[in-house]
Amino acid sequence: MDKSVIIGIAGGSASGKTTVAQRLKKKFEETNSVVIIRQDDYYKDQSHMTMEERIKTNYDHPLAFDNELLVKQLDQLAKGLPVEKPIYDFVNHTRSLKTEIIEPADVIVLEGLFVLESEFIRNRLDIKLFVDTEADIRFIRRLMRDVKDRGRTLEHVVEQYTTTVKIMHSLFIEPSKRYADLIIPEGGKNEVAIDLLTTKISSIIRHNMI
């Protein structure tokens, strides 16, 4: 296998990044040629902090992430080496004791809030995407996700969105759109964008088979 191609998918919270990544992976699930890495799993470990301190962390700031570890593992995967990826526990606001072994693949899809904001990460990306979704839709999706899957209260989600998420999006995420090779409105529902990316990934896989 040649050096892996890394596709970065950025966008606001609940914009549809994960849906795009999963749709691409599903297109090639029979070949195991595509793996997904979530930047969310690289939130810094907070096991040394009290729960009260963890809750106060600004999770929508770039400094909340361990990008050094993320880039190190991306480089290892690109060289054809497996990695032991951390898993983040969103209920307890820290890294889980469990990890996940990720095997190298022809295409690595990295999705996360600040995938395009960090020059450190951008330099590793062969294809840069930005999922562009209206703010009210993102908020509704985030509200439903955080209450259902992450054990948050309605009050907590609203407070977090108004005090940090909205502000951090304007400061860091929205400006990173200018680095994108392709902007995808409507995320995983944009069939034209999914078809274009599927065609591109297919050509990458065929090239690696030669």
Domain annotation covers residue 208:
no
Domain annotation covers residue 84:
yes
Domain annotation covers residue 159:
yes
More confident residue, 132 or 2: 132
Domain annotation covers residue 190:
yes
Q: Which of 28-37, 41-50, 201-210 has the highest mean pLDDT?
A: 41-50
Count the domains in the chain. 1
Angstrom distance (rounded) from CA 40 to CA 99: 13
Confidence at residue 81, expressed as pLDDT on a 0 to 100 scale: 95
- Specify the CATH number for the domain of residue 148: 3.40.50.300
pTM for the model = 0.91
Give the H/E segment covering residue 206. Answer: helix 191-209
Tell me what the mean pLDDT of segment 54-79 comes to.
Answer: 95
Angstrom distance (rounded) from CA 172 to CA 175: 6
Domain annotation covers residue 186:
yes
Domain annotation covers residue 209:
no
Percent of residues, the chain, with pLDDT higher than 70: 98
Tell me what the mean pLDDT of segment 46-74 comes to.
Answer: 95
Domain annotation covers residue 45:
yes
Confidence at residue 210, expressed as pLDDT on a 0 to 100 scale: 59
177 closest CA partner among 111, 210, 128, 127: 128
Domain annotation covers residue 210:
no
Beta strands in the chain (DSSP E): 5-11, 34-38, 83-89, 94-102, 107-111, 127-132, 182-185
Confidence at residue 187, expressed as pLDDT on a 0 to 100 scale: 80
User: Which residues constitute the domain of residue 28?
Assistant: 5-202
Q: pLDDT tier at 1 (50, 70, 90 boundaries)?
A: low
